[in-house]
């Protein structure tokens, strides 16, 4: 049997069996062989500093020894049971202890699944059916979430635009779309429509920060109009702070969703709310008509729970969030400094724990303004970074606690090369 030794072999094999040659997540032109600490290696052995970190979950880096020890301790005891297990219960306790809005949680296997159930839970609790989301907001792959995620054409608000084939018009009819960071638009919609069950929002929308007072404004409007507020904290949970965006910004939603970090690199997510709202998962309390059916083969599996518990324990230790923000600030400053010196207009957009660059002179405050004046410049910049050992997506940079001073020095050299590349283009 031919032994595959090169990345090109793997790419060819993937093209034969995977649509578009990939998993649908990332550039299929690179095949990762392994990760360790702050680094990943492709199948040709090329080494990269990892600022993708699995799209967020590997906040401690790859193969963290304490997480590995926790997983290896659990493995011989069983991988999954489709039944309650101690590790899952401990993880639920830790989440309830950390996250302000959570009195109870339910586990699922992915963030998109958690967001789907959060929307359904809001409808079950309120008895209303319309959902308000923000243009450009990412909430997974459900039909509701695929409304106005990345529309190619601008339509008038609050019209919803499906981003995928296969979604019935009836789904769009149940959705209202508003621009992010625009409280007046939200207030107008809530005043005009009394059938809105919930607003679902990322407290940090992709990498677009909420302007001061915006999240509290959403909270106040939801209270005024008897609408539930859902925070999608799949990304921000245990990243912006141990208690997530709720702790960082001091605004508590009615329902939140969590993922990525709480699984420690394994498939696990959750949604949480008050006991009163979460009782809709308990048929013995609410009865058949108001019961929200939810189950999943791997929900709360003990391997992911063990990894998540240990990851959260490490993150909670004194100084770790300060260190993470320090790494992020250094990465921001090195890029802004090099771009400023070259006279290249740009905006750093996001939080120190998650951000990227827009090559624009405009302030980035919503989907329509957060864009590159010249998208080709961004592509050139990121291609140059990749060529010099920096692994990241085209639109996000995730710092991790595994990043070292040597990594930062190497990143600075790569950034300086990338800036020279776009200066010549």
Contacts of 68 (CB under 8 A, 6+ apart): none
Q: How far apart are CA 354 and CA 359, in angstroms?
A: 17
Name the residue among 422, 419, 389, 406 with its Cα closest to residue 51: 389
* Percent of the residues in the chain that have a pLDDT greater than 90, as a whole number: 98
Strand, helix or coil for residue 35: strand
More confident of the two residues 424 and 321: 321
Q: What is the mean pLDDT of residues 371-382?
A: 95
Domains of the chain by range and CATH? 31-63+318-424 (3.90.1150.10), 65-315 (3.40.640.10)
Provide the pLDDT for residue 4. 61
Q: Which of 5-9, 217-221, 243-247, 351-355 has the lowest mean pLDDT?
A: 5-9
66 SS3 class: helix
Please give the model's pTM, rounded to 2 decimal places: 0.97
Q: Within the chain, how many helices (H) and strands (E) appear?
A: 14, 15
pLDDT in tens, 289-347: 999 999 999 999 999 999 999 999 999 999 999 999 999 999 999 999 999 999 999 99
Residue 3 binned pLDDT confidence (cut-offs 50, 70, 90): low
Tell me how far apart the alpha carbons of residues 293 and 379 are, in angstroms, rounded to a whole number: 44
Q: Is 283 in the active site?
A: no
Chain-centre distance for alpha carbon 356: 14
Rg (C-alpha) for the chain, rounded Å, is 22
- pLDDT exceeds cutoff 60 at 246: yes
- Selected catalytic residue, list 51, 138, 180, 242: 138
Strands 347-351 and 390-391 come out as unpaired
Catalytic site residue from 115, 182, 232, 407: 232
Calculate the average pLDDT of the chain: 97
DSSP-assigned letter for residue 344: -
**279 contact partners, CB below 8 Å, separation of at least 6:** 285, 286
Partner residues linked to 331 by β-bridges = none
Question: Contact at 8 Å (CB) between 64 and 91?
Answer: no
Q: Are 91 and 307 in contact (CB under 8 A)?
A: no
Length of the chain: 425
What span, in angstroms and rounded, lies between the C-alpha atoms of 416 and 414? Answer: 5
CA atoms within 13 A on the CB side of 331: 33
Half-sphere exposure of 73 (CA within 13 A, CB side): 11
**260 included as an active-site residue:** yes
Enumerate residues 6+ apart whose C-beta is below 8 A from 194. Answer: 128, 225
Give 93-114 pLDDT, tens digit per residue: 999 999 999 999 999 999 999 9
Per-residue model confidence as pLDDT tens digits over 40-96: 999 999 999 999 999 999 999 999 999 999 999 999 999 999 999 999 999 999 999
130, 260, 310, 392: the catalytic one is 260
The answer to whether 367 is a known catalytic residue is: no
């Amino acid at each position: 049997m031919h032994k595959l030794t090169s990345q090109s072999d793997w790419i060819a094999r993937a093209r034969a069996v995977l649509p578009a040659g990939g998993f649908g997540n990332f550039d299929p032109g690179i095949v990762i062989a392994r990760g360790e600490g702050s680094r990943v290696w492709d199948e040709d052995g090329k080494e990269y500093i990892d600022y993708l970190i699995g799209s967020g979950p590997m906040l401690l880096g790859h193969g963290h020894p304490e997480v590995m020890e926790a997983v290896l301790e659990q493995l011989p005891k069983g991988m999954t049971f489709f039944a309650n297990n101690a590790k899952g219960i401990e993880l639920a306790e830790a989440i309830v202890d950390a996250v302000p809005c959570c009195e109870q949680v339910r586990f699922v296997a992915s963030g998109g699944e958690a967001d789907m159930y959060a929307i359904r839970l809001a409808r079950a609790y309120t008895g209303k059916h319309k959902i308000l989301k923000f243009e450009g907001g990412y909430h997974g792959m459900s039909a509701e979430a695929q409304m106005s995620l990345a529309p190619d054409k601008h339509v008038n608000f609050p019209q919803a635009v499906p981003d995928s084939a296969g979604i019935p018009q009836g789904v769009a009819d149940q959705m209202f779309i508003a621009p992010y960071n625009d409280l007046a638009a939200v207030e107008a919609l809530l005043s005009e429509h009394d059938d809105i069950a919930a607003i679902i929002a990322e407290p940090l929308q992709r990498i677009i920060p909420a302007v001061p007072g915006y999240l509290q404004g959403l909270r106040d409007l939801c209270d005024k109009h008897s609408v539930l507020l859902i925070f999608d904290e799949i990304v921000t949970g245990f990243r912006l702070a141990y208690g997530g965006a709720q702790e960082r910004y001091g605004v508590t939603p009615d329902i939140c969703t969590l993922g990525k970090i709480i699984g420690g690199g394994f498939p696990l997510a959750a949604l949480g709310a008050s006991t009163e709202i979460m009782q809709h998962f308990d048929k013995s309390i609410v009865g058949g008509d108001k019961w929200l059916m939810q189950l999943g083969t791997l929900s709360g599996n003990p391997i992911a729970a063990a990894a998540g518990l240990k990851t959260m324990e490490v993150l909670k230790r004194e100084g770790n969030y300060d260190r993470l923000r320090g790494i992020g600030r250094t990465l921001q400053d090195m890029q802004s400094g090099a771009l400023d010196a070259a006279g290249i207009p740009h905006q750093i957009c996001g939080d120190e724990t998650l951000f990227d660059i827009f090559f624009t002179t405009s302030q980035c405050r919503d989907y329509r303004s957060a864009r590159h004046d010249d998208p080709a410049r961004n592509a050139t910049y990121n291609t140059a970074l990749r060529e010099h050992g920096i692994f990241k997506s085209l639109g996000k940079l995730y710092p991790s606690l595994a990043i070292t001073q040597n990594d930062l020095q190497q990143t600075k050299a790569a950034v300086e090369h990338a800036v020279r590349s776009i200066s010549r283009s």
